[in-house]
Amino acid sequence: MVDPKRVTAPQIADTYGRALTTVTTDWIPRPEFPDSVGRDGRNKTYDAQAVADFVRDHIERPTVEFEPTRLYTAREIETLTGIKTSTIRADKSRRRWPQPDDTSGRADRWLGAAITRTLADRRPYHRGGADNQVPPAPGGTFRPGDVVLDADGQIRVRTSHPELVWRHPGDGLTGTAQDGTLHDIDVPRPLTLLVRDGRAVGGRLIEE
């Protein structure tokens, strides 16, 4: 019997409403995830409080209230929301992020009201939901180098980065570079798997 203060991967998945594959292939490999403290049969066990701290600090995003008339730079938005400046730049070029309200200074700035509206339109990450899960794909979960088409018609490539798990296909459709530019929540669902292991797979829609 598992110590109630220790949890296995299946228990973590059940507690936080995530697919087991999300916990085993996305959360646990991250350097920030707590080390195993033992075993329960075949399953490693982890300190429950340490896991809760990891989820709080690295998975769940707190609600941010922006002052409607204040101007914010991309760097300030990143600090408050966790959305990378590179993601903001990329989304602005694709009209998924509004044009800045102020361009008079060295850095573009957006009104808090505009940021709030934009974030409300993005699919949120929430505990117990399907967002930010690595969905099942033919032959297993998404792998570095997989190429998908997102709901906005954009091509994305899976990376091996622990947090920025998607990138733009600028380095080639089947590259497996570690450096990513997008968090999983920044890639709108559903996703269609296009390429795996360098071969077309017929455009298979991944249901979540």
pLDDT in tens, 3-13: 568 899 888 88
Q: Tell me, yes or no, whether 157 lies in a domain.
A: yes
Do the domain assignments include residue 77? yes
45 domain residue, yes or no: yes
Number of domains in the chain: 3
Residues 44 and 88 in one domain: no
Residue 108 inside a domain? The answer is: yes
Identify residue 61 by its one-letter amino acid code.
R
DSSP, res 98: P
Domain span including residue 47: 6-59
Co-location of 143 and 189 in the same domain: yes
* Both tokens assigned to 146: 């997989």
Residue 17 is which amino acid?
G
Q: Is the pLDDT of residue 204 over 80?
A: no
Nearest in space to 67 (alpha carbons), one of 122, 99, 113, 118 = 113
Same domain, 157 and 117: no
- The alpha helices in 82-175, defined as continuous H runs, are 85-93, 112-121
Inside any domain, residue 131: no
With bands split at pLDDT 50, 70 and 90, how would you rate the model's confidence at 84?
confident
- At residue 136 the predicted structure's pLDDT band, cuts being 50, 70 and 90, is very low
- Residue 182 lies inside a defined structural domain of this protein: yes
Q: Are residues 90 and 49 in the same domain?
A: no
Q: Which residue has the higher pLDDT, 80 or 125?
A: 80
Task: Give domain status of residue 143, yes or no.
Answer: yes
